[in-house]
Amino acid sequence: MTTFSNQQEGQQYMDPSETLSDVLQSQTTNIQNSRTIVVTSGKGGVGKTTATANLGMSIARLGYRVALIDADIGLRNLDLLLGLENRILYTAMDILDGQCRLDQALIRDKRWKNLSLLSISKNRQRYNVTRKNMENLVKSIASLGYQFVLVDCPAGIDVGFINAISPAQEALIVTTPEITAIRDADRVAGLLEANGIYNVKLLVNRVRPDMIQRNDMMSVRDVQEMLGIPLLGAIPEDNHVIISTNRGEPLVLKKKLTLSGIAFENAARRLIGKQDYFIDLTTPYKGVFQKVQELFFG
């Protein structure tokens, strides 16, 4: 297995009493304990990158080490959503070309140090990494102790999609309640299964309860039944997404969370197994406190 970790950094933290077999055993344990999840959809513009940024940030805030990989060649946007666009000096392409080490290309978030970002390429680079390169990159990241590796998959089902899903053991399909997005999500679900990825969950984005009540939009239950995939969460339509994107701050970092921010946090908790219930999208934000008052005061 090819690794891209920093040898000098490894020597700096290596216990003199440790043998090479101890180090290899530790790296193997880290890899086994790491979860690699690809975030995909098939159709573009449904919110994959937004979901990756918010879920990754939420999981990091829960105390886990998280690495986000922007696997969209030439059209990277994940750095913008995290506010890290000015700090990227090296990419995975530079690692593969031998121009830098993995720790130099992994950019740590300035707010949560246990969250890091790796971009596959700079803008306007059109060539792809191979499946083997992607697998080695993810293994090397996992060996550094990252417990979650989230891969932001490019749109479509071409070679970029196949390469992005190759190192993953789990997948999260993001879709909207539109028939075109659902058809593409169904196609992606079949391709994931054909490539040996059976642990797949569904995230329904841009849900509008008012349109569902008027029968102008499919409900979350309808979407789930059409796809036959376990539901991870449903994210309501929110104008604050545009504001958070322009500011480079994920929704889950707002001091007063909107309903969509709460939905992302709940989805992250379900993803790591800390929560088993869904929020009620038809309940206003202040309704949560009203329900608590009714519970205690009748």
Gap between the Cα atoms of 260 and 257, Å rounded? 8
Higher-pLDDT residue of 240 and 1 is: 240
Return d(Cα 105, Cα 119) in angstroms, integer: 8
Which of 207, 203, 123, 214 has the alpha carbon at shortest distance from 171? 203
| Domain assignments of the chain as residue spans, ordered by start | 18-297
- 278: helix, strand or coil: coil
For residue range 176-234, what is the model confidence (pLDDT) as tens digits? Answer: 999 999 999 999 999 999 999 999 999 999 999 999 999 999 999 999 999 999 999 99
Which architecture, in CATH terms, is 18-297?
Answer: 3-Layer(aba) Sandwich (3.40)
Chain centroid to Cα 250, Å, comes to 12
Look at residue 62 and tell me whether its pLDDT is greater than 90: yes
What is the spatial distance between Cα 106 and Cα 119, in angstroms, rounded to a whole number?
8
Closest listed residue to residue 154, CA positions, set 71, 38, 81, 77: 71
pLDDT value at residue 12: 38
Percentage of the chain modeled with pLDDT above 70 = 81
Task: Show the CA angle centred on residue 61, arms to residues 58 and 62, nearest 5°.
Answer: 90
Closest CA to 9 of 143, 149, 150: 143
Per-residue pLDDT at 5 exceeds 50 = no
